[in-house]
Amino acid sequence: MISLKNISFSASSEAGEKEILKNISLDIEDGFVAITGPNGGGKSTLAKIIAGIYKPTSGKILLDGVDITDYSVTERAKAGISFGFQQPVKFKGITVNDLIRIASGRDITVSDACDYLSQVGLCARDYIDREVNGSLSGGELKRIEIASVLARGTKLSIFDEPEAGIDLWSFGSLINVFQKMHDNIGGSIIIISHQERILNIADKVAVLSAGELKAYGAKQEILPELYDSMNETCKVLTDNMKEVKA
Amino acid sequence: MTDTEKQLLKIIADMDGEPQGAYNIRANGALQARSTTENIDIRTKEDKPGIDIIIKSGTKGETVHIPVIIDATGLNDLVYNDFLIGENCDVTIVAGCGIHNCGEKESRHDGIHSFFIGKNSRVKYIEKHYGEGDGTGGRNMNPTTIVNVGENAYMEMETAQIKGIDSTTRVTKAKVEAGGTIVIKEKIMTHGTQNATTDFTVDLNGENSGAQVVSRSVAKEHSTQTFKSCVNGNALCHGHTECDAIIMDDARVNAIPQVNANHIDASLIHEAAIGKIAGEQITKLMTLGLTEQQAEQEIISGFLK
């Protein structure tokens, strides 16, 4: 279980200090939790704080009761946290096979690589020797990114908008990937997403907006409220959207 | 052969014991072993130090190993090796030099290699340079490679200087005739106070000739590197030169790519990029459980693969 205790995060910009996360407290137990909310609400920042990429300005993070607030990215990875980037990082020379090998922490065979890559809809034979660079499409990079998290098999996996850049065909498989992960590995899966289909398979949903935790609870309780509140946010926008639909 | 010599051979030529096919092993400035085949002859030059490697027309699928190893301190070794490759061949040539210097004096190997590649032949040339030993004497290598690529011939040159060479000036000059292609892939890593200079000149003289010069290098600590590449398009041709360098610590890298179009149908491109390792690359690998140093190491070894 991961617990966030009064997490705040500020970043300085030309306009001065900006508070991006305000006193967030959240307990995420085993299961599938989706974090959603409007753009700029602080979701990605929160994910990066859990992975250790950003240090919170104040507050504490506990993993299974152990205070990991001061752990580096590496120490958190070793403690059992994985992070799938929203925008996968590109390399020069590092191949798909290298990435899966590093992620799994052991030398892997083609058949091992195949286990992970086939789950994200890629044929290992076609991909293992390819460099993780701009010659791969955005969707391919994204799937490889997800495969690298699968290969780690840790007790906590965080995905930052995994559906971004994934085509429609893959979307269904992606949902299966998360369900299978949940069944096989157990532990917690945190997914930041705007996609209704992803929110629908979550056990719990957290809503983050303007740096604050607006709601957190079982999907059945949160989702109806969420959709209602969305309709209230901006009348002009909803009216216009209705017109477009019509 | 001593264990040190065997180890050097393993590193520079991937040789365990005596190789199959033709070879010439030069150790501390003298011939140590040689083998020829029906198609590949190796002869000692009579007017100057070095050998002639003569490959008969139509030779296919054979490999020649010509490694040089030095484990004596204070040895300055200069050789002229000529490769006379007939027509319609397909051969691999593995060269390389390893220096183990435990002494205080400079050990140095300057190899001047000239290739004459006949029509329609394909040659793959692999050259590795490596230095080791805890002496204070310098380990220096200055290879010069002169390549004449004949009509419709293809030469691929892979050179690597991975570790331990204090100073190197590598000069490569190539002339490519009609339909011929030269591909040069260079990998260099320098550390400490080492200096490496590479200087390529390619003349694309024949119609439909082509060249690709790609250098990937990593400069660490206080080392310095200079990359010069000049491709002259003197006919309808395609030329591409690319230098990609990772700079670390207090190292310095200079890249001077040059393309000269001397013909209306010459199509030439140059690219040069120098920069430190991107922070996000290190972060990504750290999220997979590597330390910062391990992440750097993976990024470098991938880059120089």
Contact B85, B92 (CB under 8 A): no
Among A5-14, A171-180, B23-32, B176-185, the range of highest mean pLDDT: B176-185
What is the residue-averaged pLDDT of chain B? 92
Contact A181, A189 (CB under 8 A): yes
Tell me which chain A residues have a C-beta less than 8 angstroms from the C-beta of B218. Answer: none
Query: What is the mean predicted confidence (pLDDT) over B17-42?
Result: 89
Q: How many CB pairs under 8 A join A and B?
A: 61
Assess if residue A84 is contained within a domain.
yes
Assess if residue A242 is contained within a domain.
no
pLDDT at residue B176, rounded to an integer: 98
Quote the CA–CA distance of B281 and B286 in Å, as a whole number.
9
pLDDT at residue B240, rounded to an integer: 96
pLDDT at residue B32, rounded to an integer: 87
Chain B interface residues (partner A, CB cutoff 8 A): 216, 244, 278, 280-281, 283-292, 298-299, 302-305
Number of domains within chain A: 1
Q: Residue ranges per domain, chain B?
A: 3-279
pLDDT band at A194 (very low <50, low <70, confident <90, very high): confident
Tell me which chain A residues have a C-beta less than 8 angstroms from the C-beta of B287. Answer: 51, 53, 73, 77, 81-83, 85
Query: Per residue in A82-106, pLDDT tens?
Result: 999 999 999 999 999 999 999 999 8
pLDDT band at B83 (very low <50, low <70, confident <90, very high): very high
Query: Is the pLDDT assigned to residue A56 strictly greater than 90?
Result: yes
Assess if residue A207 is contained within a domain.
yes
Assess if residue A243 is contained within a domain.
no
Scanning every residue of chain B, which has its alpha carbon at the shortest distance from the alpha carbon of A99?
Answer: B285
Assess if residue A244 is contained within a domain.
no
pLDDT band at B241 (very low <50, low <70, confident <90, very high): very high
Contact B279, B225 (CB under 8 A): no
In terms of Cα–Cα distance, which of B38, B31, B104, B101 is closest to B66? Answer: B31
Assess if residue A246 is contained within a domain.
no
Query: What is the mean predicted confidence (pLDDT) over B36-65?
Result: 95
Query: Is the pLDDT assigned to residue A235 strictly greater than 70?
Result: no
Query: What is the mean predicted confidence (pLDDT) over B243-252?
Result: 95
pLDDT band at B97 (very low <50, low <70, confident <90, very high): confident
pLDDT band at A119 (very low <50, low <70, confident <90, very high): confident
Query: Is the pLDDT assigned to residue B186 strictly greater than 90?
Result: yes
pLDDT at residue A62, rounded to an integer: 97
Query: Is the pLDDT assigned to residue A233 strictly greater than 70?
Result: no
- Nearest by CB to B284, which of A78, A85, A92? A85
Query: What is the mean predicted confidence (pLDDT) over B249-274?
Result: 95
**What 3-state class would DSSP assign to B137?**
coil
Q: What percent of chain B has pLDDT over 70?
A: 99
pLDDT band at B194 (very low <50, low <70, confident <90, very high): very high
Assess if residue A245 is contained within a domain.
no
Which pairing describes strands B181-190 and B154-163: parallel, antiparallel, or unpaired? Answer: parallel
Query: Is the pLDDT assigned to residue A232 strictly greater than 90?
Result: no
pLDDT band at A241 (very low <50, low <70, confident <90, very high): low
Query: What is the mean predicted confidence (pLDDT) over B194-211?
Result: 96
Query: What is the mean predicted confidence (pLDDT) over A3-27?
Result: 92
pLDDT band at A240 (very low <50, low <70, confident <90, very high): low
Query: Is the pLDDT assigned to residue A246 strictly greater than 80?
Result: no
pLDDT at residue A166, rounded to an integer: 77
* ipTM of the modeled complex: 0.91
pLDDT at residue A234, rounded to an integer: 57
Contact B81, B51 (CB under 8 A): yes
Q: What percent of chain A has pLDDT over 70?
A: 92
**What 3-state class would DSSP assign to B298?**
helix
Assess if residue A180 is contained within a domain.
yes
Of the candidate ranges A171-180, B32-41, B190-199, B230-239, the one whose mean pLDDT is the lowest: A171-180
Query: Is the pLDDT assigned to residue A160 strictly greater than 70?
Result: yes
Query: What is the mean predicted confidence (pLDDT) over B155-181?
Result: 92
Query: Is the pLDDT assigned to residue B38 strictly greater than 70?
Result: yes
CB atoms within 10 A of CB A230: 12
Query: Per residue in A59-80, pLDDT tens?
Result: 999 999 999 999 999 999 999 9
Query: What is the mean predicted confidence (pLDDT) over A127-148?
Result: 92
Which residue in A68, A72, A90, A94 has the most chain B C-beta atoms within 10 A of its own C-beta, making it the best mutation to test that interface?
A94
CATH number at residue A11: 3.40.50.300
- Nearest by CB to B290, which of A85, A95, A102? A102
Which residue in A49, A74, A142 has the most chain B C-beta atoms within 10 A of its own C-beta, making it the best mutation to test that interface?
A74
Quote the CA–CA distance of B79 and B113 in Å, as a whole number.
8
Could you please report the per-residue DSSP string of A123-169?
A: -HHHHTTSBSSTTS-HHHHHHHHHHHHHHH--SEEEEESTTTT--HH
Interchain pair B289, A148: CB under 8 A: no
Interchain pair B302, A82: CB under 8 A: no
**Range(s) of the domain holding residue A102:** 2-237
